Structure 1
């Protein structure tokens, strides 16, 4: 950990849309490079068995994981999650706040460092555990490789590779290569929009979940709090994300208990990259979810029950 302890600064937490445990709270945290991010946390009733550090995906925000926090609280765990730089109520990177942008993918590690300092200051109970979803899976894997102090980890649809249609791959390679020279880094990635996906995409045919109620919840959260919304990524985001996926693929897997959940209908991240990583993860297990899409923590009731039950059992096994 680097830097001085952060001063606790209360931040908004929209409990009415988060649907988390009643004792939730949020704080502002300053990163080492001066970006203000927001962290939210919930605790179980009674003594906690540990704390889940929940790393969200791109476009996500604290309140989206209130229901997950309720699941973990029912099993006796606290939850701490975050608005990464550039999304949610955290400091946005560009004047057009709807653009998803980051200068260097490893900048997110500064957010992780600030988040863990806050966890220490809040005295969130140990041991700690990691749950990383989508982009948070890439951030989380690097954090583990750099020594994040957790006992076990789970990933859902982790971004260890990005699905790009075969016909688009040459275009993406060329675009990523020339973007810095043509000053296109801050341009919206073609085929994406400034509006957030769930705001403009009907449930039928969506790539996130097969559960209409969960999809409606995501839409309603953004309708209630429009400042949480984030649109498509910039060309720079894609360029540095692809670089990060390639760098991570060349690194060994940490010797840490791990379960990774992958929906059989995944259309956003690369299933091949996930299979490859988990085939060389000592003590790791790949749990394939029949019929599941990208958001297995926001899938049908049966899928959610399976995923959270397995996560909690893993964490309980390593909470002593």
Structure 2
């Protein structure tokens, strides 16, 4: 794989120094972006961050700081259709994918780039929200990681009792009548973070983190994304149904979600983790969707738990004397 330097916004609020970014081209010809940081000393391994829908590399600057301080290299990706990656519709405000499995082309490109960049082994994955669905499929299909963690993973999508039937009808009939590239009813082309106040937001209880997200998008509005397309919604619902029908992988796993989660389906997460041998579920009292961006007294212990899981995975990797093949 040929890696080309990509823009990296080190001057944005919350982004630590020392990061680099590269353009990657997937096997189906889509350009995506990978950002990465390395620790000051020898690395225990590399944490591959799989972000959620609407997210981008620099949003995870604080996570990079936390993990590099704990001795891990850290990388995050702009999935197709968001961040600085290729947007897939003429209206760049709409999040879109033709098939949810297309994200696996992005995973393959990230894995190949991790090899080329010699990101330290073993590798670990954290999947947040939509990235939790992408990550779980990747693991089920053999992604070479030693352990995994998820935060508010999209293994089901939350709808209230009023919106659920409308959303399902929209998702499965909209594309049939030529509305697949339109956004679902009641959604907006405006970025949620950029357009909503902190009060009553569904992402975090930390006003400083929420303001950081706002400030990042104000400084770099090209990173912003609005609602998903109807096609994306249909594909996401189908992917969640497929994922929930699969047997849990034989891999150490920690999943963390907020008890006040309002974006993904809490019951789907509980059901998946109840059937995951060796998997642990931690629920954050009154926590919202972005558990890695909750107040310091909440997110700090979560980082500690993940680092402990990954440290154990690194020790197993060393004791087994194995090399994980990409």
Q: What is the TM-score normalised by the length of structure 2? A: 0.95
Kindly provide the CA deviation profile for residues 165-186 of structure 1, in whole angstroms up to 9, marking residues without a partner as x: 1122222222222222211000
**Cα distance between partner residues in 2 of 1:74 and 1:304:** 15
Counterpart of 2:99? Answer: 104
Secondary structure of the residue aligned to 2:280 is strand
Which of 99, 112, 115 is the equivalent residue of 2:110? Answer: 115
Q: What is the TM-score normalised by the length of structure 1? A: 0.97
1:221 paired with 2:216, answer yes
**Cα distance between partner residues in 1 of 2:113 and 2:271:** 34
**Cα distance between partner residues in 2 of 1:104 and 1:187:** 16
CA shift at 1:80, angstroms?
A: 1.1
May I ask how many residue pairs the two structures share in their alignment? Answer: 315
Detail structure 1 runs of 4+ shifted over 2 Å in the superposition: 18-22
Kindly provide the CA deviation profile for residues 187-224 of structure 1, in whole angstroms up to 9, marking residues without a partner as x: 01211111100111110010000010000000000000
Which of 310, 314, 317 is the equivalent residue of 2:312? Answer: 317
Kindly provide the CA deviation profile for residues 120-178 of structure 1, in whole angstroms up to 9, marking residues without a partner as x: 00000000001000000000000000001001000000000000111222222222222
Secondary structure of the residue aligned to 2:75 is strand
Counterpart of 2:203? Answer: 208
Which of 89, 104, 121 is the equivalent residue of 2:84? Answer: 89
1:167 paired with 2:162, answer yes
Which of 54, 74, 80 is the equivalent residue of 1:79? Answer: 74
Secondary structure of the residue aligned to 1:272 is helix
| Cα 1:127–1:18 shift into 2, 3 Å | farther
Counterpart of 2:293? Answer: 298
Counterpart of 1:64? Answer: 59
| Cα 1:174–1:96 shift into 2, 3 Å | same
Answer whether contact 2:14 2:212 (CA < 8 A) is retained. Answer: no
Task: For 1:1-320, list aligned pairs within 5 A.
Answer: 6-17=1-12, 19-320=14-315
**Cα distance between partner residues in 2 of 1:187 and 1:22:** 39
Structure 2 portions without partners, runs of 5+: 316-326
CA shift at 1:19, angstroms?
A: 3.3
CA shift at 1:20, angstroms?
A: 3.9
CA shift at 1:18, angstroms?
A: 5.7
Structure 1 portions without partners, runs of 5+: 1-5
| Cα 1:246–1:50 shift into 2, 3 Å | same
Answer whether contact 1:21 1:73 (CA < 8 A) is retained. Answer: no
**Cα distance between partner residues in 1 of 2:165 and 2:149:** 33
